[in-house]
Amino acid sequence: MYNIQIIENIKRRNKLILDKLDAVTSTKFSNLYTDALNMGILLLYFSGYRDLEKQNQLYQKYLRGEGGIAAKPGYSWHNYGRAVDLVPVKESGENDWNSKFYPAIDILAKRYGLKWMGWQDSPHFTDSRGETIEQLIKNPPIIITKTKRLIPIIIGISLLALFVGFEMYKRFKR
């Protein structure tokens, strides 16, 4: 059993990652987190969306032989908010980098069409939706996060409130 404090802490960190992902991808990884926890596996999402500058830093590190595998800027699913690096957390709160649970997480992830990179880059899961990275490079999509998706709804509600307010004002004046 996990300490509730550890779960709360990881939930908060995961939310920061989920909020910056593409909205569709975000929902998938949010569900994956719940599914894994139901199986007794707590997942920490430690990297999600990366801008090109951040990607370049990681790529340069990788070229120097210092960091893990990193693609060239623009060539990573992370640059489009469509990938997450995750690690199972032990009950002690430590990250379980060589977790035996990765294949089980892969099975859960497949239900959402998420693809695991396998042991060569075990934390990395992508949401390709039948597209290739070359297609995204050619036509970079605008990333619509969950928050961005709410903006038209908020504007709509504001306009409606304004309209209702104005109608009531007219009636009150009479």
Among 135, 77, 86, CA closest to 106: 86
Stretch that binds Zn ion, among 59-67, 90-98, 121-129, 131-139 (CB under 5 A): 121-129
* Site for Zn ion contains 124 (CB under 5 A): yes
Positive/negative CA dihedral, 145, 149, 151, 154 = negative
Query: CA-to-CA distance for 124 and 29, rounded, in angstroms?
Result: 12
Which residue number, 69 or 157, has a Cβ lying nearer to Zn ion? 69
Q: Which of residues 18-37 bind Zn ion (CB under 5 A)?
A: none
Residue nearest to Zn ion (CB): 124
Residue 149 sits at the vertex; the CA angle it makes with 148 and 151, to the nearest 5 degrees, is 65
At its nearest, how many Å lie between Zn ion and the CB of residue 124? 4
Which residue number, 22 or 85, has a Cβ lying nearer to Zn ion? 85
At its nearest, how many Å lie between Zn ion and the CB of residue 85? 4
* Site for Zn ion contains 127 (CB under 5 A): no
Contact (CB, 8 A) for 10 and 34: no
Stretch that binds Zn ion, among 77-85, 127-135, 142-150, 166-174 (CB under 5 A): 77-85
Which residue number, 16 or 159, has a Cβ lying nearer to Zn ion? 16
Q: Which of residues 78-97 bind Zn ion (CB under 5 A)?
A: 85
Residues that bind Zn ion (CB under 5 A): 85, 124
